[in-house]
Every structure is written in C-alpha cells, then in structure tokens.
Amino acid sequence: MTTEPIAAPINAWHVAQQQFDLAAERLGMDQGMRRVLREPRRELTVHFPVTMDDGSVQVFTGYRVQHNLGRGPAKGGLRYHQDVSLDEVKALAMWMTWKCAVVGIPYGGGKGGVIVDPKKLSMKELEGLTRRFATEIEVLIGPERDIPAPDVNTNAQVMAWIMDTYSMHQGYTVPGVVTGKPISLGGSEGRYEATARGCVYTIVEAARHLGLDLKTARVAIQGFGNAGSIAARLISEEGSTVVAVSDSTGGIHNPGGLDVARVIGWKKEHGTVQGFPGAMDISNAQILEVDCDILIPAALENQITERNAGKVRARLIAEAANGPTTPDADLILARNGVFMIPDILCNAGGVTVSYFEWVQDLNRDHWSEAVVNEKLRGIMVKAFGETLEIAKREDCDMRTAAYLLAVDRVANAMAMRGLYP
C-alpha cells in the first residue's frame, strides 16, 4: 500500500515575498527599493496575562505588524485563531499594503493576531483578552497611525472593546481608532457586507469581460462565515445558482442548487452546513473541485496548491479570502485558462468601507447604506478596470497585473518621500 507523501506546510510569508519579487522584477525596480518593500516596517510581539473565569492566569501571545506606511496610516484586521503565527501576520500585513494601493485608498498595510481559540473562551474572558491585548499594542495603534479592524474570529463587539479601551486611556472617545464597529459607536452602514459585496461587484465585471451569463452560472463557495455566506446570498440575487458551500466542519453539494437562505438558517441552528437536507456532504478539499463556473474561496490561506489546482473545474475564481492560492497553483490555473480575480482586488471591499467608516468618524459624519454601496461599487469597478487594462497591456494574468499596479503605486509614494534622515 502506498501513501501519499505529506506536503510540507506552506509558509504564507514566503508566498507573499515571492509574489512581490515577481512584480518587482517585472517593474525593473531598483534593489534598494526592493529591500525596503520586501520587509515589514515594524513587528511587535506581546505576551500578556489574562485572568480566566476559574481564577487562573493564562499568558497569551499576540502580534501587530506594520508592513508599509508610505501611503498613509497602517490598516488591517486582528484575528483570533489557534494557528496565528508571526509569519502569517507579516504576510497578511504585506497583502494589506497592496490591497489598499490597488483600490487607491490612502493607507499602508498592517495586521494583527492573537494565538487563541476564542470558541473556548467565555464572553468575559474574551473581553479581558481583548482589552489587555489592545493595551499592549496601544504603542502602535491610533486613528492617524494604525487602525485595526475585524478579521477571522473577531467582530464588531471586539472592535467596540478596543475602541473603549483606547478611549479610556486617552480620556475622550476616539471612534476612528478601529473600524468595523457597531453602528451605534460610529460604525458604517454596509460595513458588515462590504467584503462580500465588493467581491460580487468584481465578479459581475469579470463575467461581463468573459461573456459569462451570471443567470446560468453555478457557484461553489469554500468558507461560510461573514464573507462566504453573504457572497452566497448576493450572487444568488444576481441570478446564479449556488451548488456547493462549506465551513470549517465540511461542505455540502447539490448540483441542482442550494436554497441559500435555508442553508444560512441550518448553519445557525446546527453550527454546521453539513447534514443539510437534500444535499450531499463533502469535504473542504472536495468543494474546490466541484463542477461549477465560479469558485469563491472565502476561508483561509493556501487552499489551492499545486496538488489540487489541476482539478479545479471553475472558469472564474474570485478570492474572497486572503492568500487562498499559492504561486505554483497560479501557474497551473493560468495554463488551464482559469480567470482569477486576485485577493488584493477581489476582497478589498472590506478595507474600502473601513476607509469610509474612518472618514465618517474623523468628520463625525454618517452616510446612508445606499451612499456607501454606490461609492464602493465605483471604487471596485474602477480598480477592476485598471487591473484588467494592465493584464491586457502586459499580457499577464490578473494577479500579476494587480501586483504591478499596487507595487508601482507604493514604490512611487516611497520614492517621492525619499529616505529619512
């Protein structure tokens, strides 16, 4: 009996650097600028104590990384996950730099995380952990310096605690220190749906470019959290048929189509999409290989690799997650004629509406959801068009084009500023 060799884990930071190197090479960037942009500006590691409900004290490890501040303050989420690592956070911070540059908003890239499984914490423990972590990273964050936001396993409540903690230390309310807050504390209308909505706006543009009729398109979605479940609802509103979805426990498949509203209800009731009546249970790996027209990876990094890229049957991939495809897989997908909407473009709706929220907070203003969605559509459609234009002009795939656009913008900003002192 032969067993498949176990693949070595993929290092997200090495992937991020590799993607940057390809763009820098193609742009003919000078070596000094490459050295600057290849590394993060700052990396903060903190080890902090939290009193648990049973009276014991646990020490947690957290990170905040600022990759580049050339175009503005650092911007990026905070994730709570047992597999968080410094290299992962560095990669995500770098991707945020490019993401903000692709859509043209005045931020640099940042990211943070705590090594913890929040599902094992009580609400009181979660609040204690959040407030203490916020206090530890307060040396870096601030509305003009570094603005955190929700990410994996964090939400509006976590942002509210961080905003309150920071404000208590300042002595006055500072709503602009984080985005993704509750509406009642200066959050923006449309923020909760923004990542998925921006993703669907780019899918509509890509479908138009490819001559793909969304009314007959079949869609598979890996990841059924915030981005995935909302993308499922929005894409079905475009007339497409969602044939498969998955969450961290596994997936379901029905070639005839799934009733998205009922699946959302089922997951809420059972904590999993699996077991949904009228659908076949499949694994998270299998969902990537389902027969469909559009595949939306909306889970974690490194899901499409050289091992499974050749089995992807979708014609269009829209990366709602960060870094779901490795560089080796990109080559295979491009060779097979798969059209890719890369993460730094596809899921930039979240940071774009975070930017809107920040602007509203700084101006003590509040926009309607219609205004937010219209502004978001304008930015996503423009960024898609600019990226597609570069892809055609340079005869390259969309990821390379997005990187050429983003890296060039950041390098230009850095070159204009010069080196201090």
Q: Tokens 């002192």 map to which residue?
A: 421
Beta strand spans in 266-389 (E): 280-282, 294-297, 316-318, 339-341
Contact 83, 135 (CB under 8 A): no
CA 36 to chain centre: 24
Q: Cα separations (Å) of 13 from 190, 281, 327?
A: 31, 33, 12
The three-class DSSP label of residue 241 is strand
CA 407 to chain centre: 18
* Cα 129 to Cα 51: distance, rounded to the nearest angstrom: 9
Signed CA dihedral, 351, 352, 353, 354: sign only: positive
Q: Tokens 């340079």 map to which residue?
A: 394
The three-class DSSP label of residue 415 is helix
Instruction: Out of 111, 119, 375, 392, pick the active-site residue.
Output: 111
Contact 197, 230 (CB under 8 A): yes
DSSP state of 142: B
Q: Which two tokens stand for residue 172?
A: 């006055």
Contact 320, 349 (CB under 8 A): no
The identity of residue 210, as a single letter, is: L
Is 382 considered catalytic here? no
* Cα 33 to Cα 348: distance, rounded to the nearest angstrom: 25
* Cα 333 to Cα 340: distance, rounded to the nearest angstrom: 8
Known catalytic residues are 111
